[in-house]
A and B are shown apart, each in its own frame.
Chain A
Amino acid sequence: GDSVTQMEGPVTLSEEAFLTINCTYTATGYPSLFWYVQYPGEGLQLLLKATKADDKGSNKGFEATYRKETTSFHLEKGSVQVSDSAVYFCALNRLGYGQNFVFGPGTRLSVLP
């Protein structure tokens, strides 16, 4: 079945450091890929998405590129801020295949001032 794997956390960085959170997936066909973020005490919200190979999703300084050859969708940000501290979830979606959204386990990021 479909699955999403993320790097284990927690990840602790200093402000202005470079961030990479790895995400790889297993799915039949051509899923859409998403990163969701959960800030402390809040619900999940979409951070960015990509719908086909080589697409780059971007938002709030975060970027991720859909790499079909490596089945990856790594999240990057050039300079993190304390306000980026949250849990990040990678997810995939295959329309019409039962379990519509599959989420990774989440990666907790803490950014220190």
Chain B
Amino acid sequence: GAGVSQSPSNKVTEKGKDVELRCDPISGHTALYWYRQRLGQGLEFLIYFQGNSAPDKSGLPSDRFSAERTGESVSTLTIQRTQQEDSAVYLCASSRPSAPSNTEAFFGQGTRLTVV
């Protein structure tokens, strides 16, 4: 597709349930990022994939959060045993890094997660 696609756009789940969020990056983009944006707040880094390198998981807030990426395509962010504090918009972005690191990140529209 033309841009980064995320699904679902909205998700309401009950506390304690697991959820899976999907991101389709722009074709050819080797780097993929997940961020969390709580209401009225900035972007909180979660995880970064770059090609076949080991992902940078340093931003994942707890072991309930995990993410996978198949090659250089789709990524899924999984939140297990959701808590109300997980309610936020989850943003995915992709880029095609190249020297001298001047490529922008393209963002999807996000998935709004509400835990009730």
Contacts and interface: CB of A to CB of B under 8 A. Distances in A.
Interface stretch (B12-20, B62-70, B77-85, B105-113): B105-113
B48 A98 contact: yes
Interface residues of B, number: 29
Interface residues of A, number: 27
Contact of A95 (B58, B93, B101): B101
B31 to A, nearest CB: 6
Contacts of B104: 34, 46, 49
A100 interface: yes
Interface in A89-112: 89, 93-96, 98-106
A93 B101 contact: yes
Interface of A: 30-32, 34, 36, 42-46, 49, 51-52, 89, 93-96, 98-106
